[in-house]
């Protein structure tokens, strides 16, 4: 007992401490106080930070710290001191916050002891949570203490008081309270039931406080309802013992009175979206309580449920006929009324209405009583209509006395939940077979079916008049309501139920009177009485549209039977039919099908259970998604007038099915499929088809179509009339096949065959159809008319036979005979199709002959361009040159082959003028993009040791940590045109309202043609023909040996030093400096032999060369542009080298040949880049070029190295020599064949890059092996092209005396010794090809990984946004202030900061909890990209909304890898932003 008192005391202390009222004595003003700022949902982060900075005069970082803590914990003490100081801070914060928001921030001044008590209470709550997690005894004692009520006191128990104080607590205290409830009451089922009873007891008050609160539902005690109401046994107990359904519905009525008008109907004009959104939580609780249907009904459960149902009917009564509207005539409505709230309520109630109906259908007695109550409610809402004046309608000898009402003039509402609920209950009565007992509860004289039908009929007439544009002056609000009325989200409890109610009316009313009522409400009685004589085309169009809409509704009434209870069908058959009609429009992905199917209370559509019965799944390719295609056997179920088709879907489905039938050489008739049989309660609906007025309507339409002077008909109207005829004939045929002729009362055939009048020229419907068949304008309907006439004949034969079997047989024979009579028509169609096919073949043959002739005429051009598929026609016009022989396909040495020069005539994409590319002409340029890249790095994330101002780029780092890549889209412009275009872009950018997609200050623009992001242009410089005299070359080769060449180089270096150093240390390579100091050769040596004079380029080309070189320098080093900087030529060479290596790496990665698979853009870009590198040196001082070359010669490269081959023996011999000089750092037991294979593999990428370089530098045609494959023979072809021996060690053997001292000194170098002793990192060759990280096949593995992710900078357990870098595999905390960094004075998010180091600003991330790939570039640019994870239907699931299991698609991931390796990330981002421009886009900088 003392233990209970102990818990009781501390719980009471908890209550007192967290409340704002503590029992403290009066304090002095000079004691310590805190100015406490509380969290709310009205102010954003930025608003709070702004207010704190202004009020407290604090730094940004401090204000951010306060704001983060307030959002996390619910409050924060932002000022401490005397009372006056804190009060002043409070007023300042409030005043500043009012400047940016209508609501001031919630600030209070609290005494330090109050703060201390509250903090202690939270610690106590956390401690109790911990104790209860492992002590069940303590948990039970705690629950008992919390539920104990004080004897003789009216105060609620402790836990109820805590719940009632929930809305007054701040965020942190609420969390502790909710954790206490979870760890105690929800862990013990008995106490959970008691807690639920306390919760329901104070439910109304809790919900009212939540609705007036401003905190999210997730931190409100009302959110606990889902934990209790969804437990079936607990929900049933609450219904029986506490009538929870009535409590929830009464709560709804009590929180919505402000929206009731004088007629006691809801009217949500001027509603508060936030407040109404909180009301939806109450509706969700009703859904939770009804989600599990009871299997056993007790009398008390039945009674309490009915009471709750009656209470719910009160809500529906307030919604029945709410927000009535009247047609605007004369002038347009000034302001569109609010309509969203009413539709949103309908959406929220849709599943609840269905669940109420399903609960009622569980018990026959309950269903009948519920039907009676609902019927009473409908009648009470219809008193005004019942008491209104009457009018009489006469038609075809039939009279209807009905109430005076016109939809086009009187008030009408689209909201009729009571009527629709009654329709749903009636269908369930039919399904149970209990309609026969209905008169026991609702006497027939009180039923008044005309009243029940009235309001749904008005709603359908309203839709028809909106389609006829009679309500266009009522604005967009009505159009939006009509859209949702028929949309999949609402139609199940709106549009569908209205059709059912009309079917109920048709089954219970006289068919002629029912059609008279329909004609009267559609205001078409005059249109069919032939009293209209007008030439007003708008009025005629209006009448025609209304007739079409009315006929469509009549088709739905008699033809739509796929509702369990209306027709003899199952739910699976209903879903299959929906899917069939969706796939008749076009093949669809799984998500699109699911989106177009209605969901039940569990958000299920039933799609998976039936989809494979009617459709075949087609797997996706590298892009796109998998789609379902309809099986051929399911096509027979296609109904052109499917009632869930929109106008667009109807047209598309009709077109697709006619097109398919035409391709199969079938007629284009699309008759309705045989419908299922009506349930007994609805069996009389078919009498609509053969009643007098229906026959009259059909005859009138056909007569007007034949009458050339009549314009009150359309082809669409005729199609619908044909469809109704077909339905009537199919119905009669089905009945005749099932029963003897004398038992069939349905006589559509006889009535359709009856003459329209007794006049001499009177015609029946069959005669009219024969005439329609001969009208040329109705050629498209000829097949359908033929099908109907065949059906007339079939039914006639069935009528003439008395035996069912004989009738069936004769019917089949008649169909065969009819088919024979139309063989001629089919043969004619087939003949025409064959003629068209032959004509197409003839044209294709002519085109093929012309192509062959052109290829023969221009054979050389095709031979030379076959290696570059997809090359633009405007790029090259080649001159005829002799065929290149194999022996001349050598790029270097005395036997170098000839340069293949081309006459280039290019077309500018801007001015469309052609120009030949010459060095003396004005420049033409390629749009290009220069970017930093880490695609080839061997050391990801390696920091840049030196800033751009001091970095020396002459020697490229062997690990290729960073490089400068130049890519081009291949589109050509005049330099002048490009400059004008860029100036125009700059001018238009100044006038833009939205954020620019590119940085003009950095020279960025979009290619005018393909919209790729570019930031410079490459000048197009023609390849200059270079000839070599083989005799002089041989003489020079004999004279200039390797030793002589080294001596000559040293002489030139010495000469350079003497001329330019002026006392400085000579720039002589260390490897040459030893043992060769006596060399004093003349500076002008024999190397001058054969050197050609420098090329003279036009000024325009020089300008573009300087511009491009400066851009490379600026972007590559990230420094301001400076064309005089000596590093400009270095960066030019660097980007050439890196671009070549990147393209070679990509070709090798894809297994493609070196030259034969280059894309057009790669070919043109490389060619322009190489020629630019040649031309760039003329814009720099020659002294600078010489200085760089001398530094490049400061070291000599040395290559590293099958059984018993010459190469293996040479490798072993060479390796042994090198080992002697390496001081034992290299082992000597490595076999020669292994050395040779390693050398060959390691040097091949270098040789491939060299081949690319010299091909585009010199223009020598490469060997055939390099054009067609990248496997065997490639190494030999590379050596041949580069004039190297295949055994590279022969080079060392031939010049061993010269090479030996160089090797000795190189091996003794301290840097090399450090590498050999593994004291520093060694880059191994061939370099490792980079790829995106390995991802798990199952996406749930990534989700598990993310669930264990903890932000390294945050200690709380709040949900983070883990993001995976696909370059390195790092997981980052995205979009959180905790991980933001400062870069150049700007705040950037964790992802952007990581991208700067991992990918030189370009990176690919995967948002794990959203399954979205994000591409980023720089600080402020990015875009979403499809994730490589697909579900079993071949679709991505962004946001994980569908929740299907996801698996990695290797093809998609490979495509993403290629986007990176092809350096197309920037291009993807630019195109995405161009197509998805937004005024206020996503803040990528804080990602």
pLDDT averaged over consecutive 10-residue blocks of the chain (1487 residues)?
49 50 48 87 81 84 83 85 87 79 82 86 85 85 84 80 86 87 88 91 91 84 91 92 92 88 87 84 92 89 93 93 90 88 91 92 92 93 79 84 89 94 94 88 86 94 94 91 92 93 94 93 84 76 93 94 92 93 92 88 83 88 82 91 92 92 87 92 92 90 86 89 93 87 83 67 81 85 90 87 46 47 58 68 71 55 40 38 54 75 84 86 89 83 66 77 87 90 82 60 84 88 73 67 71 65 46 38 38 72 88 85 82 88 85 81 87 80 72 48 59 70 63 74 85 82 77 79 81 76 74 69 78 88 80 63 86 75 76 84 88 85 87 84 85 88 85 65 67
Collapsed DSSP state (helix, strand, coil) of residue 1134:
helix
Helix axes 203-212, 244-255, angle to 10 degrees: 30
Separation between Cα atoms, residue 875 and residue 1080, nearest integer Å? 52
- Residue 417 CB partners (closer than 8 Å, separation 6+): 316, 319, 320, 346, 349, 353, 493
Structural Rg of the chain based on CA atoms:
43
pLDDT at residue 1224 in the model: 59
Specify the residue for token string 């932000």: 1351
Q: Which of 25, 448, 467, 40 minimizes the C-alpha distance to 213?
A: 40
Structure tokens at 594: 């699911």
Write the DSSP string, 568-618. S--HHHHHHHHHHHHHTTS-B-HHHHHHTS---TTS--SHHHHHHHHEEEE
Specify the residue for token string 């275009």: 981
Specify the residue for token string 């708008």: 538
* pTM for the structure as a whole: 0.78
The Cα-based distances of 397 to 513, 529, 554 in angstroms read: 11, 12, 21
- Residue 1423 CB partners (closer than 8 Å, separation 6+): 1414, 1415, 1468, 1469, 1472, 1473, 1476
Burial class (CB in 10 A: 0-12, 13-18, 19+), 242: middle
pLDDT at residue 1036 in the model: 67
pLDDT at residue 723 in the model: 94
Q: Which of 677, 584, 564, 566 minimizes the C-alpha distance to 637?
A: 584
Structure tokens at 748: 């559509």
672-690 burial: b if 16+ Cβ within 10 Å, else e: bbebebbbebbeebbbbbb
Separation between Cα atoms, residue 865 and residue 900, nearest integer Å? 12
Inter-residue contact 1437 to 1431 (CB < 8 Å): yes
Separation between Cα atoms, residue 1372 and residue 1361, nearest integer Å? 8
End-to-end CA distance of the chain: 57
Beta bridge partners of residue 313, listed in sequence order: none
- Laid out side by side, the sheet with 107-111 consists of 75-81, 33-38, 107-111
Separation between Cα atoms, residue 359 and residue 309, nearest integer Å? 10
Residue 430 dihedral angles phi and psi, to the nearest 5°: -65, -40
pLDDT at residue 855 in the model: 57
Q: How many CA atoms lie within 13 A of 1165 on its CB side?
A: 25
Separation between Cα atoms, residue 976 and residue 910, nearest integer Å? 10
Beta bridge partners of residue 77, listed in sequence order: 36
Collapsed DSSP state (helix, strand, coil) of residue 1106:
helix
Inter-residue contact 1046 to 1072 (CB < 8 Å): yes
Specify the residue for token string 């919505």: 256
Q: How many CA atoms lie within 13 A of 1025 on its CB side?
A: 8
pLDDT at residue 863 in the model: 44
Separation between Cα atoms, residue 978 and residue 893, nearest integer Å? 40
Specify the residue for token string 């851009």: 1111
Separation between Cα atoms, residue 926 and residue 966, nearest integer Å? 11
928-961 burial: b if 16+ Cβ within 10 Å, else e: bbbbbbbbbbbebebeeeeeeeebebbebeebbb
pLDDT at residue 479 in the model: 93
Inter-residue contact 1046 to 1085 (CB < 8 Å): no
Separation between Cα atoms, residue 21 and residue 165, nearest integer Å? 12
Separation between Cα atoms, residue 1408 and residue 61, nearest integer Å? 29
Structure tokens at 1355: 């200690």
Structure tokens at 849: 């002959």
In three-state form (DSSP H/G/I as H, E/B as E, the rest C), the secondary structure along 1200-1246 is CCCCCCHHHHHHHHHHHHHHHHCCCCCCCCCCHHHHHHHHHHHHHHH
Separation between Cα atoms, residue 502 and residue 607, nearest integer Å? 29
Q: CA-based angle 1049:1051:1056, to the nearest 5?
A: 95
pLDDT at residue 1252 in the model: 83
pLDDT at residue 1228 in the model: 58
Separation between Cα atoms, residue 617 and residue 594, nearest integer Å? 14
Helix axes 136-147, 171-184, angle to 10 degrees: 110
Any idea what DSSP says for residue 514?
H
Separation between Cα atoms, residue 1282 and residue 1255, nearest integer Å? 10
Helix or strand run (H / E) with residue 107:
strand 107-111
Q: Which of 829, 800, 825, 827 minimizes the C-alpha distance to 813?
A: 800
Inter-residue contact 16 to 148 (CB < 8 Å): no
Looking only at the bridges linking them, the beta strands covering 1412-1417 and 1421-1425 are antiparallel
């Amino acid at each position: 007992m003392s233990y209970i008192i102990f818990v009781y005391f501390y719980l009471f202390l908890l209550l007192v401490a967290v409340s704002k009222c503590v029992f403290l004595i009066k304090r002095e003003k000079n004691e310590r106080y805190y100015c406490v700022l509380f969290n709310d949902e009205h102010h954003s982060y930025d608003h709070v930070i702004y207010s704190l900075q202004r009020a407290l005069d604090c730094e940004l970082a401090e204000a951010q710290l306060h704001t983060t803590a307030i959002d996390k914990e619910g409050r924060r003490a932002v000022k401490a001191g005397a009372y006056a100081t804190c009060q002043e801070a409070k007023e300042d914060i409030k005043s500043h916050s009012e400047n940016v928001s209508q609501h001031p921030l919630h600030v209070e001044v609290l005494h330090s002891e109050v703060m201390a008590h509250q903090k202690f209470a939270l610690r106590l709550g956390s401690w109790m949570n911990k104790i209860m997690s492992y002590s069940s005894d303590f948990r039970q004692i705690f629950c008992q203490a919390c539920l104990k009520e004080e004897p003789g006191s009216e105060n609620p128990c402790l836990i109820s008081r805590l719940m009632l104080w929930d809305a007054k607590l701040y965020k942190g205290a609420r969390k502790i309270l909710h954790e206490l409830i979870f760890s105690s009451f929800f862990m013990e089922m008995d106490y959970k039931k008691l807690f639920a009873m306390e919760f329901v007891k104070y439910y109304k008050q809790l919900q009212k406080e939540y609705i007036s609160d401003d905190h999210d539902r997730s931190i409100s005690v009302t959110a606990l309802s889902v934990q209790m109401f969804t437990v079936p046994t607990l929900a049933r107990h609450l219904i029986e013992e506490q009538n929870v359904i009535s409590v929830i519905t009464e709560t709804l009525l009590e929180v919505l009175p402000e929206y009731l008008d004088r007629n006691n109907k809801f009217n949500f004009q001027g509603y508060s979206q936030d407040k109404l959104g909180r009301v939806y939580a109450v509706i969700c609780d009703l859904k939770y309580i009804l989600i599990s249907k009871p299997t056993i009904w007790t009398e008390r459960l039945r009674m309490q449920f009915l009471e709750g149902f009656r209470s719910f009917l009160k809500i529906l009564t307030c919604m029945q006929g709410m927000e009535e509207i009247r047609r605007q005539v004369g002038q347009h409505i000034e302001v569109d009324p609010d309509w969203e709230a009413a539709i949103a309520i309908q959406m929220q109630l849709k599943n609840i209405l269905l669940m109420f109906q399903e609960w009622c259908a569980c018990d026959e007695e309950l269903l009948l009583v519920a039907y009676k109550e609902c019927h009473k409610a409908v009648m009470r809402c219809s008193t005004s209509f019942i008491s209104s004046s009457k009018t009489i309608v006469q038609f075809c000898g039939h009279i209807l006395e009905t109430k005076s009402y016109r939809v086009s003039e009187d008030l009408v509402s689209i909201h009729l939940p009571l009527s629709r609920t009654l329709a749903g209950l009636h269908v369930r009565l039919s399904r149970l077979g209990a309609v026969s007992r209905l008169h026991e509860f609702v006497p027939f004289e009180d039923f008044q079916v005309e009243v029940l039908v009235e309001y749904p009929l008005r709603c359908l007439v309203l839709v028809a008049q909106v389609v006829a544009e009679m309500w266009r002056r009522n604005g967009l609000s009505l159009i939006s309501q009509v859209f949702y009325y028929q949309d999949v989200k609402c139609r199940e409890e709106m549009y569908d139920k209205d059709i059912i109610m009309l079917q109920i009316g048709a089954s219970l009313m006289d068919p002629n009177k029912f059609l008279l009522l329909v004609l009267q409400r559609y205001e078409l009685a005059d249109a069919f009485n032939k009293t209209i004589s007008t030439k007003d085309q708008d009025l005629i169009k209006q009448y025609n549209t209304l007739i079409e809409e009315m006929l469509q509704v009549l088709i739905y009434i008699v033809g739509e039977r796929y509702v369990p209870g209306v027709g003899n069908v199952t739910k699976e058959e209903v879903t299959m039919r929906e899917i069939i009609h969706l796939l008749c429009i076009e093949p669809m992905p799984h998500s699109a099908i699911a989106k177009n199917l209605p969901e039940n209370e569990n958000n299920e559509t039933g799609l998976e259970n039936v989809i494979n019965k009617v459709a075949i799944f087609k797997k996706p390719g590298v892009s796109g998604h998998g789609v379902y295609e309809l099986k051929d056997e399911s096509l027979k179920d296609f109904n052109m007038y499917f009632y869930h088709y929109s106008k667009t879907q109807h047209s598309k489905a009709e077109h697709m099915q006619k097109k398919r039938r035409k391709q199969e050489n079938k007629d284009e008739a699309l008759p309705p499929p045989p419908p299922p049989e009506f349930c007994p309660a609805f069996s009389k609906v078919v009498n609509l088809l053969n009643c007098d007025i229906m026959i009259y309507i059909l005859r009138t339409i056909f007569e007007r179509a034949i009458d050339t002077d009549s314009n009150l008909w359309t082809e669409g109207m005729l199609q619908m009339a044909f469809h109704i005829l077909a339905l009537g004939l199919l119905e009669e045929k089905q009945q005749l096949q099932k029963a003897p002729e004398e038992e069939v009362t349905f006589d559509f055939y006889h009535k359709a065959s009856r003459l329209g009048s007794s006049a001499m020229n009177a015609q029946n419907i069959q005669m009219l159809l024969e005439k329609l068949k001969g009208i040329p304008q109705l050629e498209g309907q000829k097949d359908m008319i033929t099908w109907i006439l065949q059906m007339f004949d079939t039914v006639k034969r069935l009528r003439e036979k008395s035996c069912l079997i004989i009738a069936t047989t004769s019917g089949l024979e008649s169909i065969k005979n009819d088919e024979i009579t139309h063989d001629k028509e089919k043969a004619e169609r087939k003949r025409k199709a064959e003629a068209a096919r032959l004509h197409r073949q003839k044209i294709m043959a002519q085109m093929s002959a012309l192509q062959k002739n052109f290829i023969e005429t221009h054979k050389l051009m095709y031979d030379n361009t076959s290696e570059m598929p997809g090359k633009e026609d405007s790029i090259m016009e080649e001159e005829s040159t002799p065929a290149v022989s194999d022996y001349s396909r050598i790029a270097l040495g005395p036997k170098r082959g000839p340069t293949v020069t081309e006459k280039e005539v290019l077309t500018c994409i801007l001015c469309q003028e052609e120009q030949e590319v010459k060095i003396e002409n004005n420049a033409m340029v390629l749009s290009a993009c220069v970017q930093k890249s880490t695609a080839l790095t061997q050391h990801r994330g390696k920091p840049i040791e030196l800033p751009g101002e001091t970095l020396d780029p002459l020697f490229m780092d062997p690990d290729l940590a960073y490089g400068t890549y130049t890519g081009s889209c291949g589109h050509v412009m005049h330099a002048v045109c490009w400059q004008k275009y860029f100036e125009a872009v700059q001018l238009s950018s100044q006038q833009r309202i939205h954020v620019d997609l590119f940085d003009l200050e950095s020279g960025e623009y979009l290619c005018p043609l393909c919209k790729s992001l570019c930031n410079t242009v490459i000048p197009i410089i023609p390849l200059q023909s270079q000839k070599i005299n083989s005799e002089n070359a041989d003489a020079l080769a004999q004279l200039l040996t390797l030793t002589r060449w080294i001596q000559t180089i040293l002489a030139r270096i010495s000469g350079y030093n003497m001329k330019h150093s002026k006392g400085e240390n000579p720039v002589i390579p260390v490897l040459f400096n030893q043992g060769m100091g006596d060399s004093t050769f003349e500076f002008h040596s024999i190397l001058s032999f054969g050197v050609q004079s420098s090329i003279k380029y036009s000024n325009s080309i020089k300008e573009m060369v300087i511009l491009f070189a400066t851009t490379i320098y600026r972007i590559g080093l990230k420094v301001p542009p400076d064309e005089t900087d000596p590093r400009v030529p270095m960066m030019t060479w660097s980007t050439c080298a890196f671009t070549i290596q990147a393209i070679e790496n990509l070709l090798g990665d894809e297994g493609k040949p070196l030259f034969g698979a280059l894309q057009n853009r790669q070919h043109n870009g490389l060619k322009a880049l190489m020629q630019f590198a040649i031309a760039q040196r003329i814009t720099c001082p020659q002294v600078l070029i010489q200085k760089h070359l001398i530094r490049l010669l400061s070291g000599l490269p040395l290559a590293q190295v099958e059984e018993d081959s010459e190469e293996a023996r040479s490798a072993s011999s060479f390796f042994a020599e090198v080992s002697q000089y390496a001081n034992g750092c290299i082992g000597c037991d490595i076999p020669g064949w292994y050395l040779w294979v390693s050398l060959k593999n390691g040097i091949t990428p270098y040789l491939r890059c060299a081949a690319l370089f010299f091909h585009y530098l010199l223009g020598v045609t490469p060997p055939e092996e390099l054009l067609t494959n990248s496997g065997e023979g490639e190494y030999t072809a590379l050596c041949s092209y580069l004039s190297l021996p295949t055994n590279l060690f022969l080079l060392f053997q031939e010049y061993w005396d010269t090479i030996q001292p160089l090797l000795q000194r190189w091996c003794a170098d301290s840097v090399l010794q450090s590498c050999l002793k593994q004291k520093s990192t060694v880059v191994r060759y061939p370099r490792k090809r980079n790829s995106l990280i390995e991802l798990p096949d199952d996406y749930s593995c990534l989700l598990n990984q993310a669930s264990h992710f903890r932000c390294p900078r945050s200690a709380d357990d709040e949900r983070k946004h883990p993001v995976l870098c696909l370059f390195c595999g790092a997981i980052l905390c995205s979009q959180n202030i905790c991980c933001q960094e400062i870069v150049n004075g700007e705040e950037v998010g964790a992802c952007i900061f990581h991208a700067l180091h991992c990918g030189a600003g370009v990176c690919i991330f995967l948002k794990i909890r959203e399954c979205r790939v994000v591409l980023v570039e720089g600080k402020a640019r990015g875009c979403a990209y499809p994730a490589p994870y697909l579900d079993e239907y071949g679709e991505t699931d962004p946001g994980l909304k569908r929740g299907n299991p996801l698996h990695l698609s290797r093809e998609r991931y490979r495509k993403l890898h290629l986007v990176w390796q092809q350096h197309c990330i920037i291009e993807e981002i630019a195109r995405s932003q161009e197509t998805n421009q937004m005024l206020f886009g996503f803040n990528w900088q804080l990602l």
